[in-house]
Amino acid sequence: MSNVAENARYFSPQAGRQISVPAVSEARFAIGDVVRHRLFGFRGVVFDIDPVFANSEEWYESIPEDMRPVREQPFYHLLAENDESSYVAYVSQQNLTSDAEAGPVDHPSLREMFDGFSDGRYHLRRSLSH
């Protein structure tokens, strides 16, 4: 008998397939945290976390091979912004750093999910929390 927990499996609509998820995954950031992309410099607010890569193969293959992140790490859904626009981004943990000191993010969808910004992070609306 093994003491190692088996990976859980769930269907990822983005990937269109079953995803194997480890029993333990350590996310460095939480929902509501303000983060910055290490390579591209855009900022964003975490609104969802996948314990491992759970997007489509086409999305993954579109990343240049020399920049492609490993799949077995948390991936974050962000309400992101750069100097030109606001958008939703999907980013690996290895490519993010904390950015709370830069202040609030100006994304049009923030008010749908979060009540406000204080202490360097956004607070999830009570109606959306478990």
Q: pLDDT tens across 32-90, in order?
A: 999 999 999 999 999 999 999 999 999 999 999 999 999 989 999 999 999 999 999 99
Alpha helices in 40-109 (DSSP H): 57-61
pTM attached to this predicted model: 0.82
What the chain holds in terms of domains, given with CATH numbers, is: 8-128 (2.30.30.390)
Residue pair 123/115 in contact (Cβ under 8 Å)? The answer is: yes
Cα–chain-centroid distance for residue 54? 11
b/e per residue 111-125 (b: at least 16 CB within 10 A): eebbeebeeebbebe
Q: Which residue has the tokens 């996948």?
A: 50
